[in-house]
Structure 1
Amino acid sequence: MPAHNLAERQILKAQADGVFDRLEGAGKPLPERPPEDAVGIAMRIMAQAGVVPREFELKKEVDAQRARLAAITDPAARKQAMAVLTNLQLRYDIEREARRRFYR
C-alpha cells in the first residue's frame, strides 16, 4: 500500500474519532499570513528552534569588529584589526553565498 494511502486512512480515522475537534481554533478560519518563500519558511523554523545560522553570527562579529576598528588610532593596531575584519567579511560573504546557492 502506498504511503499516501496509509496517511490518508490515518487522517480519516482521526477525523472519525474526533481528534481534530479538540484542537485550538477548531472550526475557525486560518489566520491571514503573507505567503513565504522557502528561505523565509526555513528561517522561521530555525528561529523557532532557537538555532542561529552561522551567517548571522558572522554578521554580528563583522559589525563588532568595525566598531573596534573605528576606535583604533595606532597605525599598526589598525592594520591588524583591518586584517581581522577582512577575514571575517570574507567568511561572512562565503556563508551568505552558500545559503543563496542552497535555496536556489
Structure 2
Amino acid sequence: MDILEKIAEEKIREAIENGEFKNLPGKGKPLNLEDLSTVPEDLRMGYKIMKNAGVVPEEMQLQKEILSLHDLLNCCHDDQERELLKKKLSEKMLRFNSLMEKRKMPGTSAFRTYQSKLYDKFNR
C-alpha cells in the first residue's frame, strides 16, 4: 500500500467515526448504474461527461428522431402525411450517415463496432 492509499484509508476511517456517512442522500436505495455496454470503451468517458453536462451527441438526437419517425410512419394512414414523414426520415438518415462517415477514422474497430450496432438497431 502506498502513501496515498494509506492517507485515503485514514480519511475514510475518520469520516466513518465522525458519522459523516450516516445521512447521505440515497442511503439504502439501489445504485442507478448506467449500461454503456453498447458504446465503445474509448468513447464511454466522453459520452458520460457530455451526459452529465446535459449535452446530447448529435447522432443520439438523430437516432431518437429517426425512431420517432419510424413509429409515426407505422401509425400514419394519410398518404400526404406519409410522404412528408418519409421525406423527413430520409433527410434524418442522410444526415446521420453523413455524420457517422465524417467521424469514421480508418483502422478504428471501435467505430465499426459502434456503427454496426447502430445500423442493426435501425434496421430491426
TM-score (norm 2): 0.49
Say whether residues 1:88 and 2:92 are aligned partners: yes
Secondary structure of the residue aligned to 1:51 is: coil
SS at match of 1:27: helix
SS of the residue corresponding to residue 101 of structure 1 reads coil
Higher-Rg member (1/2)? 1
Percent identity reads 27
The amino acid of 1:58's aligned partner reads: L
TM-score (norm 1): 0.56
- Higher relative CO (CA 8 A, sep ≥ 6), structure 1 or 2? 2
Which has the larger helix fraction?
Answer: 1
Deviation at 1:97, TM superposition (A): 2.8
Runs of 5+ in structure 1 lacking a partner?
1-14, 29-35
2:53 corresponds to 1:71 = no
Number of aligned residue pairs? 75
> Do structure 1's residue 27 and structure 2's residue 4 form an aligned pair?
no
